[in-house]
Structure 1
Amino acid sequence: MAKGKDIRITVILECTSCSVNKESRGISRYITQKNRHNTPSRLELLKFCPFCCKHMIHAEIKK
């Protein structure tokens, strides 16, 4: 049965290049889930950014 806290949580990934670069047309964001017990640190994945037109590192942000 499920415990009080959910193990899998929803996280938002944001492009690290677009958030730093002010000349960008927008900010690429992805929504995914992670297992809190297996990945306690912030999640970083290589995803496609349509504003940079290439694969960039997307890091987890606070909600």
Structure 2
Amino acid sequence: MGSNKRKIILVCENCLSRNYSLTKSVLTQKERLEIKKFCNLCNTHTLHKETR
């Protein structure tokens, strides 16, 4: 059996910098992840989305 976790990268919506990497369960979470996180380049909390 394979792993049920997948490594994902979060990208800032404003400046498109790839700031964070997380692991996510493939079985339970089907849609893309969207989290409000701090961006070092924008120096504010912005929406970060999962990349493919």
TM-score, scaled relative to structure 2:
0.84
Q: What is the percentage of aligned positions where both structures have the same residue?
A: 31
Aligned match for 1:50, one of 23, 32, 40: 40
TM-score with structure 1 length normalisation?
A: 0.72
Specify every segment of 5 or more residues in structure 2 that has no aligned partner in the other structure, as ranges: none
Give the number of equivalent residue pairs.
52
Spell out the pairing of 1:1-63 with structure 2 (5 A cutoff): 4-19=1-16, 27-62=17-52
Gaps (5+ residues) in structure 1? 20-26
Q: In structure 2, what is the Cα distance between the partners aligned to 1:31 and 1:18?
A: 17
Determine the C-alpha separation between the residues in 1 that align with 2:13 and 2:28.
23
Q: For residues 9 and 48 of structure 1, what CA distance do their matches in structure 2 show?
A: 22
CA contact (8 A) 1:28 1:50 kept: no
1:31 is matched by which residue type in structure 2? S
What is the CA deviation profile of residues 19-58 of structure 1, one whole-angstrom value per residue up to 9, with x for unaligned ones? 2xxxxxxx24201011112211111111100111111111
